[in-house]
Amino acid sequence: RTRLIDFNKIIDVVNALKNAQNILVLTGAGISTSLGIPDFRSSQGFYSKMKNLGLDDPQDVFSLEIFKRDPSIFYSIAYMILPPDNAYTPLHSFIKLLQDKGKLLRNYTQNIDNLEANSGITADKIVQCHGSFATASCVTCKYKIPGETLYPNLRAKKIAYCPFCENERKSLLRKIEKMEDEGGYSSRYDNIQSFGVMKPDITFFGENLPERYHNTIKEDVRHCDLLITIGTSLKVAPVSDIVNKVPNEVPQILINRDPINHCEFDVELLGYCDQVITWLCGNEVKWNIDHKDFDKILHS
């Protein structure tokens, strides 16, 4: 992307926010870290905690192939990224504020914590690009349940099974046991461990992004008049490509703790996003971010 717009001063950012009517907000794990939910790739992030799981690449914890072979790996660590009840951050409130002002075209979130909904951002304004913990499905028959139903199992690191597949699962296990006793095990049963296992509807590597993503993104990149990217390393495609799909004349703002060297933005506001946005809205744009635990989160 070629940088076309000359953002020299904070007043340019303020004007961009005030003038824009169709803001596309692209978010990642960094917008939830102030609540104690780890991001993925930082030194203390979720992937840094995968050392003892025997995976070649920590991202494999979200590999569909590996989940199918051994769902216990995901079940052993998913508790670390379970979302807290009813919580959201000042940054989520900022996105809600854009919605209230009629300026939010869409929030494309890579987050699976579903906290956007807690802040009052409506479903039509959110695209959960990587799915979420909000629902879970049986990998075999696709029976769907509310995600929270699975939380006790995830917290206890105990695999949850689909009630409708249970009989078939048990009879398959008996069949395999018999085969093994007779020395005739077949590798086509390698994925039997995941037969009838419930999996949160998170998009794993090897799965398609939700249909909603594909249905909305083409139009939205054409209609947006400002792109704000917040709290993401932009390492995972196709979401990382959104910044290149937006037309060159549309201003792009980055708010992130660390710089992103492989992309070009018109302005980079580097720091903790809750603080950056509070300062920007409170001191410069003069917009009031409404958040119940504002001070607690900002000063923790």
Residues binding ligand OAD (CB under 6 A): 28-30, 33-34, 39-42, 45, 59, 62, 110, 112, 130, 202-203, 231-233, 235-236, 256-258, 272-273
Where b means 16+ CB within 10 Å and e means fewer, 47-64 reads beebeebeeeebbbbbbe
Are 289 and 281 in contact, with CB atoms under 8 Å apart?
yes
| Cβ nearer to ligand OAD, comparing 143 with 205 | 205
92: enclosing H helix or E strand:
helix 90-100
Q: How far is the CB of 206 from ligand OAD (least distance, A)?
A: 11
Q: What are the binding residues for Zn(2+)?
A: 138, 141, 162, 165
Give the strand order in the sheet containing 131-138. Answer: 144-146, 131-138, 198-202
Q: How far is the CB of 53 from ligand OAD (least distance, A)?
A: 15
| Cβ nearer to ligand OAD, comparing 165 with 277 | 277
Q: How far is the CB of 69 from ligand OAD (least distance, A)?
A: 18
Residue 130 designated active-site: yes
Rg (CA), the chain: 22
Instruction: Centre a 10 Å sphere on the Cβ of residue 250 and count the other Cβ atoms it contains.
Output: 20
| Cβ nearer to ligand OAD, comparing 235 with 245 | 235
Q: Which of 44, 63, 42, 43 is nearest to 53 (CA)?
A: 63
Q: Which of 130, 223, 262, 299 is catalytic?
A: 130
Q: What are the binding residues?
A: 138, 141, 162, 165
Residues that are catalytic: 130
